[in-house]
Amino acid sequence: MAKRILDILGAAFGLALFAPFFAVIAVAIKATSPGPVFFRQDRLGLNRSTFRIYKFRSMAAGREKLGCLVTAGDDGRITRLGAFMRRHKVDELPQLINVLKGEMSLVGPRPEVKEFADAFPREYDEILTVKPGITHRATLMFRNEEEILAGAPDPVALYLNEVMPLKLSAYRSRLRQNVRQDIVTILATLFPRGRGVFAYRTGRLESPGVSDIRSYQQLQTRAVAEERALEELA
């Protein structure tokens, strides 16, 4: 109940706060690329229910159907404005609507398309016992995921074989957080600081993002200490 109250208050406040910004983005999208303002796609939610996720459209209209389901940083389908929005995660803001509707939570595993979730049925049977979210510690760690996939000969294979197993492990390790832990994660999302591709800091908690998939083993070792720091904070 407390988590749902946080979701409702956070989503309502966010939508009210960003409403003028939403209008500016909507005008910019229409002015720079023909097509709808929003991109909607079916994703898996709680207990494998299906819902339509909202994002600001970052690709040329209709181009999302012409390529693979994962998006690398060098994907030619992305518009110039879309590249800016994706780099700063602006395209994700309309998901506050999904949160307000009860389809998503502010904090939780990122909602996945069915095709990729079906590749990990046992893991998703567990993960989908909670609502998907806008942000999560795994989301912060892989904030620069598109850069990891850029230039890969087969981005889908890299995503399925290397990135997803690591993300799923991170999701499962923090599947159910209390409200205080959710607030720490939200603050870390809103106020990222640090050097490198991505780093965030909240109190004594500091964690770099993964800029190279091969660096994850070193990051994983450090994560043990960071989890203890997070427990002390929350």
Question: What's this model's pTM, rounded to 2 decimal places?
Answer: 0.80
> Tens digit of pLDDT for each residue in 33-60?
999 999 999 999 999 999 999 999 998 8
> Tens digit of pLDDT for each residue in 175-234?
888 898 899 889 888 886 543 233 333 333 333 444 444 554 455 555 545 555 555 555
List the domain range (segments joined by +) for residue 81: 2-233
In the chain, the number of structural domains is: 1
Q: List helix spans (H) across the chain.
A: 2-32, 80-87, 95-100, 114-117, 121-127, 137-141, 145-149, 155-158, 164-173, 179-190, 216-233
> Tens digit of pLDDT for each residue in 95-143?
999 999 999 999 999 999 999 999 999 999 999 999 999 999 888 877 7
DSSP state of 162: I
Are residues 230 and 184 in contact, defined by beta-carbon separation less than 8 angstroms?
Answer: yes
pLDDT of residue 88: 87
